[in-house]
A and B are shown apart, each in its own frame.
Chain A
């Protein structure tokens, strides 16, 4: 059957057709829909793991136990999973093991634009890169075959434009992949020095075999056109190149590591000008230049940001941009904002009011770094808020520490904040950590996590008790507070930052977009308003300053009533109330 599918959905279909039995992941844009789509297949065991390292370890276990397994994450997730990654390269697999990683050139929703191909090189693991949804599905199936044939994990790399574009896919039935027998084999699966030394030899042999394979496989193809120009490319760049160059000759690399050197030399010898087109790092180009081949590439093209057909036309062919209408279109930006009713709004209002130094973290709450909240000083990677607050306190002293809080979400705390907290306690810090418990992984679109009490399939499960967890690692001061009770919340924060020991505040209030969360409906501002503009200070997108009056947008307001606490004149009332 032919269907329009996201690259991510097509990956899920490929996993299904390949007979995958286990899928593990930690969410992250642009990879999240892979696992959300796998949920539709009842035959596959699927889970959100607490972080990418655990996700990969789960998949490695499944593979060694004889099943085909797939593990998905965004590019920075592979940093977290890098430890098992480098060593599973040595152990190899039993059932096929495929690692999906989604890069984000241009940083549509990421904190950096690292190029995951570097990991394939560094860990000596083969990597495939599809260029549309059909290839997403086909390559995942090929990846499982390669994994089992060469006894190694295989990484399949996507980029945002592949993961989040829909194109036509022909689907098929699920193939039958029996569980392979599990055979105890310490020489292969216990990586102590003596065994690992032997396995490293196997890794090198495998890479040599894969280099030969790179020449046989139909993943790498030459598409002959006119031969005055040749283009070596992969993934989305292949699409941009075809649009920019038209009917020239292409060497399309479906397998981006290891590269088919002989094929490249042969191609280069048959074309005139040779272009190498790859987004981000100059991975192909560096290798091709080492072969003594002259190419045009990063001398003309950026290592920063996304490519496009028009960028290639402009930089490589000197073709100017299309004509556009001449209209003055200076426009104010429309940055994403915390939603009306967002529980984080209360927390950051208080932190700003108290003028605290805030080491922040990654989630919806990172939006607090932008105006109007302006209440976050740092954001590096998931979980970093806690360790950073501790480090700052250690060098700047306790007084500074008392003006500092670390802030992170529930999912982020479980992902990698808990280890930071243990450090604070163990090394006698006195940081205050605020866990924003909104009962969901919000930023990536509402995934369950160990604190929500539900699995990825919405089945009830044990729920991590954050209060007991903090106490168990040695935090004596653990407070639970409602960020929408502004006065009480402020009092608690004041007390805890003052304390000479570590403290944890669990700010509890569910995300306003969760199904079960119902407020009473829109508010409005009545004639008692004195235009003091206090309500505007919470930075709610539903409250609008019209110059001569303040208005609440009826379509946006959910009625969370946070703003009513800002008003000294009781001028904010329920819209439609008769006796207001």
Chain B
């Protein structure tokens, strides 16, 4: 496999951490070198959060830079727009179709950008759009949005499905594993 660079972007508190742990586990199982990088601290308070996952034969910098992401996993639309420059030409954008207004929008100092999805479509981006919240709810837990998105991501890669299943077993707590399995399946079938 050539190197795989995945960026996870969203809003603090959306469960992006679990997604990066699943990806890290998958890379370990495949015997790849891997680096996962996140910034803690201030960003937890409802701010913009970004996590980088890089896997391949030998990984040096833990950071993904502009035009380098094979996949951007976006938990929120504005965050997808903010980081879109990081997508590699021909890369895939997996987008949770959710809007969370940032404080400048709430206070009326800024407006939430319009027609974000159309901009991606017009820009020729390989877009996989999903209503993760609704699917997660159908599976029985709104918190499973992250695993719905991971399911969809899994289907866009050539990595064997068993490996993802095993990663879930190792990373997700036993008491919520069933809900998350369902969520993964639904995401996987969306592609």
Q: A334-B103, A372-B107 are in contact. Are A308 and B61 (CB under 8 A)?
A: yes
A332 touches B106 (CB 8 A): no
Q: A4-B24, A323-B89, A545-B108 are in contact. Are A339 and B62 (CB under 8 A)?
A: no
Chain B residues near A322 (CB-CB < 8 A):
65-68, 88
The stretch from A161-169, A280-288, A419-427, A481-489 touching chain B is A161-169
CB 8 Å contact bits of B57-87 with A (1 = contact, 0 = none): 0011111011110000000001101101111
Closest B residue to A163 by beta carbon equals B40
CB 8 Å contact bits of B101-133 with A (1 = contact, 0 = none): 111111111111100000110011100000000
A445–chain B nearest beta-carbon distance, Å: 7
A262–chain B nearest beta-carbon distance, Å: 28
Which of B12, B28, B85 touches A168 (beta carbons < 8 Å)? B28
Number of interface residues of B (CB under 8 A): 59
Chain A residues near B82 (CB-CB < 8 A):
329, 331, 334
Which of A161, A308, A444 touches B41 (beta carbons < 8 Å)? A444
Q: A331-B81, A541-B106 are in contact. Are A445 and B44 (CB under 8 A)?
A: yes
A166 touches B35 (CB 8 A): yes
Closest B residue to A306 by beta carbon equals B63
Chain B residues near A548 (CB-CB < 8 A):
none
A339 touches B39 (CB 8 A): no
CB contact list, B14-70 vs A, under 8 A? 24-25, 28, 33-48, 59-63, 65-68
Q: A322-B88, A334-B47, A371-B109 are in contact. Are A310 and B119 (CB under 8 A)?
A: no
Which of B34, B41, B85, B142 touches A167 (beta carbons < 8 Å)? B34
B40 touches A336 (CB 8 A): no
B147–chain A nearest beta-carbon distance, Å: 18
A373–chain B nearest beta-carbon distance, Å: 10
B60 touches A239 (CB 8 A): yes
Chain B residues near A161 (CB-CB < 8 A):
37, 62-63
Query: Does B11 touch A at the CB level, under 8 Å?
Result: yes
Query: Does A458 touch B at the CB level, under 8 Å?
Result: no
A166 touches B36 (CB 8 A): yes
Which of A165, A332, A334, A544 touches B111 (beta carbons < 8 Å)? A332
B62 touches A367 (CB 8 A): no
A160 touches B39 (CB 8 A): yes
Q: Which of A2, A165, A367, A445 has the most CB of B within 10 A?
A: A165
Query: Does A321 touch B at the CB level, under 8 Å?
Result: yes
B24 touches A308 (CB 8 A): no
CA distance A325 to B87 in the complex (A): 7
CA distance A333 to B42 in the complex (A): 14
CA distance A239 to B58 in the complex (A): 11
Chain A residues near B119 (CB-CB < 8 A):
327-329
Which of B28, B61, B81, B107 touches A329 (beta carbons < 8 Å)? B81
Q: A167-B34, A243-B60 are in contact. Are A30 and B113 (CB under 8 A)?
A: no
B125 touches A30 (CB 8 A): no
B47 touches A239 (CB 8 A): no
Chain B residues near A242 (CB-CB < 8 A):
60
Q: A321-B67, A334-B48, A335-B103 are in contact. Are A165 and B35 (CB under 8 A)?
A: yes
B62 touches A165 (CB 8 A): yes
Closest B residue to A241 by beta carbon equals B60
CA distance A109 to B40 in the complex (A): 8
CA distance A337 to B156 in the complex (A): 35
Query: Does A338 touch B at the CB level, under 8 Å?
Result: yes
A326 touches B87 (CB 8 A): no
CB contact list, A114-142 vs B, under 8 A? 132
Which of B68, B108, B123 touches A325 (beta carbons < 8 Å)? B123
A164 touches B85 (CB 8 A): no
Query: Does A240 touch B at the CB level, under 8 Å?
Result: yes
Chain A residues near B48 (CB-CB < 8 A):
333-334
Q: A323-B89, A327-B119 are in contact. Are A545 and B45 (CB under 8 A)?
A: no
Name 11 A/B residue pairs within 8 A (Cβ), A-sorted: A32-B40, A109-B42, A109-B43, A166-B37, A309-B63, A324-B85, A324-B87, A329-B81, A333-B48, A335-B47, A544-B101
State the 7 A-B residue pairs at the shortest beta-carbon distance, nearest first.
Answer: A322-B67, A109-B41, A29-B41, A332-B110, A336-B45, A336-B47, A334-B102
